[in-house]
């Protein structure tokens, strides 16, 4: 039985959370051949001020307190 724990900064809408859950469940069914009824997903929503990237709190990545800025992850070509 797959158990997936997703930690996310901020609070996604109920629709976003439902879509994420559906997508993860579909992937596990398609690739790992796990029936949808076997998949459990837990969401941990944490305040953005409790997350840091590259040593910088999310709300201060651009040097502005109180304004959330998330750096984009880029894919490197191999």
Please give the Cα distance from 74 to 24 (Å, whole number): 22
Q: Range of 28's domain?
A: 3-60
pTM of model > 0.85: no
Q: Say how many domains are in the chain.
A: 1
The answer to whether position 47 is within a domain reads yes
The answer to whether position 67 is within a domain reads no
Question: Using 50, 70 and 90 to split pLDDT, how confident is the model at 58?
Answer: confident
The answer to whether position 66 is within a domain reads no
The answer to whether position 72 is within a domain reads no
- Give every CB contact of residue 62 below 8 A, 6+ residues apart in sequence: 69
Please state the rounded mean pLDDT for residues 27-49.
Answer: 95
The answer to whether position 21 is within a domain reads yes
């Amino acid at each position: 039985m797959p158990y997936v724990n997703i930690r996310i900064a901020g609070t996604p809408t109920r629709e976003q959370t439902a879509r994420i859950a559906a997508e993860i469940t579909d992937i596990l069914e398609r690739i790992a051949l796990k029936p949808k009824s076997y998949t459990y997903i837990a969401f941990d929503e944490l305040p953005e001020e409790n997350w840091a990237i590259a040593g910088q709190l999310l709300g201060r990545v651009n040097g502005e307190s109180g304004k959330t800025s998330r750096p984009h992850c880029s894919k490197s070509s191999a």
